[in-house]
């Protein structure tokens, strides 16, 4: 299954292959302020369309995930990083079309303590 999504203004578009069964809901200062619900998928399963200069990047703490956000509207639909040597994408499911957030299992992560 393919899911499409974007930032708020539409300057950054993503397409993700896969079935979203569960998401990570982290309580760290960044994720909780942004309201992230992250679905981790292999980097190869994500395509991004954005004009040059449309994306900005933010890293924090261990700098393991490069959180990408739209330079115009500030919306953050995805991030890229690696886990165990495997390139991964962290998809903010709140930015995907047609996702039933109430029906997705949430895995609570205590990022505040790490």
Q: What is the pLDDT of residues 30-87, one digit of tens each?
A: 889 999 999 999 999 999 999 889 999 998 877 888 999 999 999 999 999 987 889 9
Cα–Cα distance list, 16 to 32, 89, 92, 108 (Å): 23, 10, 11, 23
Name the fold adopted by 2-113: 2.170.150
- Tell me if 112 sits within 8 A of 50, measured CB to CB: no
DSSP state of 9: S
Output the pTM of the full model: 0.91
Among 1, 63, 71, 72, which residue's Cα sits nearest to residue 30?
A: 63
Domain range list for the chain: 2-113
């Amino acid at each position: 299954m393919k899911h499409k999504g974007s930032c708020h203004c539409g300057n950054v578009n993503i397409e993700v292959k896969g079935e979203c069964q569960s998401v990570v809901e982290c309580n760290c200062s960044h994720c909780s302020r942004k309201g992230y619900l992250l679905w981790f998928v292999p980097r190869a399963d994500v395509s991004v369309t954005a004009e040059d200069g449309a994306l900005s990047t933010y890293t924090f703490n261990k700098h393991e995930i490069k959180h990408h956000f739209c330079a115009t509207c500030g919306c953050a639909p995805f991030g890229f990083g690696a886990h165990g040597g495997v390139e991964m994408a962290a998809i903010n499911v709140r930015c995907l079309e047609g996702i039933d957030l109430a029906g997705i299992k949430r895995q609570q992560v205590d990022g505040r303590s790490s």
